[in-house]
Structure 1
Amino acid sequence: MSHYEEVKVHAEPVVRGEMSHLPEGSVFFYCQVGERPYWKDPNNEFKKTLKLSGVPTLIRYGTPQKLVEEECFKADLVRMMFTED
């Protein structure tokens, strides 16, 4: 299993488990960044437009808040991302 796949496998259950803490009316977008060669391209749209530096990344749209890679494994950080104003 590649690092890319391993990080996703560890983060996804944590993130999904914390989704119950999202405020009512929240919208959660799950977006895949494509196959590894596309992700590695420095000109891919995720890197250019959203300034992503790693996967997975949780972004609170419209704010500077984000969790990157192993930070997404930590339920307490994910919950704070979902609940803080």
Structure 2
Amino acid sequence: MIKLINDPKIGSIVKHIGWQQDKKVYPCDVYITDGCYLSDGRLSNFWWWKRVLKDGSLGKVEKGYGSFEESNKNYEIEIRVKRIA
């Protein structure tokens, strides 16, 4: 059974089941980088994510409204942080 996710956790990988936007076809698995379901008690549901590419790397940041479900794939992703002094 597919589980819909209204409020994905930052840092999680979920399947975006949205729409076609800027020639980028959904559904696809994405890594959630920021966003929120509620903002000041109001529905927001606006998110930032990076698409999980076929080779397992992450694409560029994309953003939009969310429609998510659990991913049926397992990933091992390495996140590198560049600190600016």
Q: Normalising TM by the smaller chain, what interval?
A: under 0.3
Question: Larger relative contact order (C-alpha < 8 A, sep ≥ 6)?
Answer: 1
Flag the structure with higher strand content.
2
Give the TM-score, by structure 1 length: 0.25
Flag the structure with higher helix content.
1
